[in-house]
Structure 1
Amino acid sequence: MTDIPQITDSHCHLDFPDFDGQLDNIIANAAAAGVTRMVTICTKLANEPAVRAIAETHAPVFYAAGTHPMSAADVPLVTVDELTALARHPKFVGIGETGLDYHYTADSAEIQQHSLRIHIDAARDTGLPLIIHARAADDDMARILTEEHQNGAFQCVMHCFSSSAGLARAALDLGFYLSMSGIAAFPKSQELRNIFAAAPLERILVETDAPYLAPPPHRGKRNEPAYTAHTARKGAEIFGLDYPTFAARTQENFDRLFPKVAQYRAAA
């Protein structure tokens, strides 16, 4: 039996209704595709207990929590203390997703920026990586990340990266990571593939953002963690590597950015 290279879905949303009653099958599908770990993301703290329960119930699942920028104006501002308290859980491995989204919610830009800075403070205090959502806000995102990093170092992944080469360079210059989603496999995404190709391989992660953004051949359908393998195969092409080598490198990158996951598995 041929060993399947192992990879990690670094960002998905297993608490969304798309997966209701199906998580056992979803996680089995992922394992069959070589996706042996996944980080499910809580986007509103009110949902944190349900997201935590998924991680506690399913061994391959870890979780992170924060306030999505599109919700920043609609829910109470999270506090650093709330996030650091959550971080005490052994399977809580990241801060966010947070960030800036001016595509639909530019009117809340000011409170989004305030929320982002709170999450950055929590990332510093906990030592956990910040998980960033950025859309149509490249200049402000680059400025805030640079300002805050000068005030005190923290680690970060630009989740589902599909922004400009300028924001990619700003993030990479700060030592941050870029995460490749199914968008990178879309036929019309050559400009994005060029951005990834210019990045250091040691700063690349892979993800689904499931249930969204399914890569070919599942585009237009519900995404799921198993499909990380399709994106990772496209990533191998982008970097001119065979799939097992690219998969192994992204695993090393994930373990470096999310050491709490690696330590948890080692302890288990």
Structure 2
Amino acid sequence: MLVDSHCHLDYLDRAGILDAALGRAREAGVGAMLTICTSVEEFPQVLAIAERHDNLWCTVGVHPHEAEGEVNVAAEQLIELSRHPKVIGIGECGLDYFYERSPRAEQQSVFRTHIAAARATGLPLIVHSRDADEDTVALLQEGAAEGNLRGLIHCFSTTQYLSDSALKLGFYISLSGILTFPKSDSLRAIAKDLPQDRILVETDSPYLAPVPFRGKKCEPAFVAHTAQCLAELQGMTAPELADTTTANFFRLFDKAKPASLKASA
């Protein structure tokens, strides 16, 4: 069984294709999913999807693109929303200096708020970092120095510095369809040597569809292709990779209480 550790199912719901996509995911051996919140204003819609399905959980948080509009979201608000049994992580949060849709100061402030909420709740922090690795690491180190901080770097696609720093802090690394892209040789070189007890796989659906689905709307079923690529890099069979990443997911997201799960095919 595979877990899609990061997807945006509310986007598929708005497109009217969620139920069909979930069916295809089950057929592809994806037995559990984590749907990610990017805006506290939209959290009720994200939570509603998680509540409707077994083995499907959600997070609460503010994406760096939304930081300017939700800069006043307080750690206490995130903490309160995270009390729901279906909420198992804080985020997606972090820094994005590539698009920079919110000013950097606001991004950093909101990121610190999420770090504080993650520390207070003990829930994993889901980190987005694009063209901001040095500041991302600095803020994570700042939070870790206060204790009780854990989490993952989602959709990892950047530098050895970020992966090494995150691993040193005890974080996990999640790989997306970018791993399969023809020009991702440097990413594959890093992924090859990641410790097997710290790796996860994700789709970031509806974005970043892996080869051979480039240009199509991504959905959770496609995580199998990223998993196959990562298995080959790590010298594992596909079932071994599935078992490993599933165990890693439930070790990190230990608030998740799964219903009976089918073994990987």
When normalised by structure 2's length, the TM-score is 0.95
CA positional deviation for 1:17: 5.3
Report SS of the residue matched to 2:10: coil
Contact 1:66–1:78 under 8 Å retained in 2: no
| Map 1:66-215 → 2, pairs under 5 A | 66-105=61-100, 108-215=103-210
CA positional deviation for 1:107: 6.3
| Residue in structure 2 matched with residue 248 of structure 1 by the alignment | 243
Percent identical residues = 49
Mean CA deviation greater in 206-215 or 76-85:
76-85
* Runs of 4+ displaced beyond 4 Å: none
CA distance in 1, matches of 2:53, 2:214: 27
Contact 1:41–1:96 under 8 Å retained in 2: yes
CA positional deviation for 1:23: 1.6
1:224 pairs with 2:219:
yes
Contact 1:7–1:250 under 8 Å retained in 2: yes
Contact 1:95–1:129 under 8 Å retained in 2: yes
Q: Deviations over 1:181-207 (max 9, x none)?
A: 000011111100111112111100000
CA distance in 2, matches of 1:9, 1:65: 17
CA positional deviation for 1:22: 1.9
Amino acid of the residue matched to residue 141 of structure 2? Answer: T
Out of 1, 25, 47, which is 2:20 matched to?
25
CA distance in 2, matches of 1:107, 1:67: 12
CA distance in 1, matches of 2:12, 2:180: 25
Amino acid of the residue matched to residue 213 of structure 2? Answer: H
Mean CA deviation greater in 171-180 or 74-83:
74-83
Amino acid of the residue matched to residue 31 of structure 2? Answer: T
Report SS of the residue matched to 1:259: coil
CA positional deviation for 1:16: 1.1
CA distance in 2, matches of 1:264, 1:243: 22
Contact 2:35–2:57 under 8 Å retained in 1: yes
1:46 pairs with 2:35:
no
User: What is the RMSD computed on CA atoms of the aligned residues?
Assistant: 1.4
| Residue in structure 1 matched with residue 259 of structure 2 by the alignment | 265
When normalised by structure 1's length, the TM-score is 0.94
CA distance in 2, matches of 1:116, 1:42: 14
Contact 1:18–1:211 under 8 Å retained in 2: no
Q: Deviations over 1:26-50 (max 9, x none)?
A: 1110000010111111101110111
CA positional deviation for 1:85: 1.0
Contact 2:67–2:102 under 8 Å retained in 1: no
CA distance in 2, matches of 1:43, 1:151: 25
Report SS of the residue matched to 1:179: strand
Amino acid of the residue matched to residue 78 of structure 1? Answer: V
CA distance in 2, matches of 1:137, 1:215: 24
CA distance in 2, matches of 1:57, 1:45: 19
Q: Deviations over 1:92-113 (max 9, x none)?
A: 1100000000011176111111
Amino acid of the residue matched to residue 7 of structure 2? Answer: C
CA distance in 2, matches of 1:79, 1:142: 22
Mean CA deviation greater in 142-151 or 225-234:
142-151
Higher helix share: 1
Q: 1:57 to 1:106 in 2, by over 3 A?
A: closer
Amino acid of the residue matched to residue 265 of structure 1? Answer: A
CA distance in 2, matches of 1:19, 1:208: 18
